[in-house]
């Protein structure tokens, strides 16, 4: 469940996820925002630095999170970036609360 832009990155991501069996019916496509991404740089000595553009995924809101959202799932995976600011942080908090009540890992 996320928001992406209507762009090449989102199209490629959706295709890859679908091929891997991931349901993509909860992805919202935004007209005025780009898809977020993280660019990872690793130096020869193994140090890594991440440059992140959060893009449209910051638009996830509490209204999109319902108890029904968590039907027939066993795991909730969250990105730490989702906790940086609202409205996405509020949506994450609600998702965690519902997951806890439903004993989802």
3-state secondary structure of 7: coil
One domain for residues 83 and 48? no
The pTM of this model reads: 0.82
Can you tell me which residue has the tokens 């909860």?
26
One domain for residues 52 and 64? no
Q: Is the Cβ–Cβ distance between 29 and 10 less than 8 Å?
A: yes
- Model confidence at 105, pLDDT cuts 50, 70, 90, reads confident
pLDDT at position 73: 85
One DSSP character per residue, 56-90 reads GGGG--GGG--GGGGTT-------GGGGSSTTHHH
Q: Is the Cβ–Cβ distance between 64 and 92 less than 8 Å?
A: no
One domain for residues 47 and 69? no
User: Where in the sequence is the domain holding 78, given as residue range(s)?
Assistant: 60-105
pLDDT digits over 30-80, tens only?
A: 999 999 999 999 999 999 999 999 999 999 999 999 999 888 888 888 988
Neighbours of 60 (CB within 10 A): 22
Can you tell me which residue has the tokens 């638009």?
59
Number of folded domains in the chain?
2
């Amino acid at each position: 469940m996320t928001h992406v832009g209507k762009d090449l990155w989102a199209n490629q991501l959706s295709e890859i996820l679908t091929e891997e069996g991931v349901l993509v019916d909860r992805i919202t496509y935004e007209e005025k925002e780009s898809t977020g991404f993280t660019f990872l740089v690793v130096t020869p000595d193994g140090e890594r630095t991440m440059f992140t553009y959060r893009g449209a995924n910051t638009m996830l809101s509490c209204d999109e999170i319902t108890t029904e959202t968590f039907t027939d799932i066993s795991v909730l995976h969250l990105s730490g970036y989702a906790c940086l600011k609202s409205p996405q942080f509020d949506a994450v908090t609600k998702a965690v609360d519902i997951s806890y009540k439903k004993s989802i890992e």
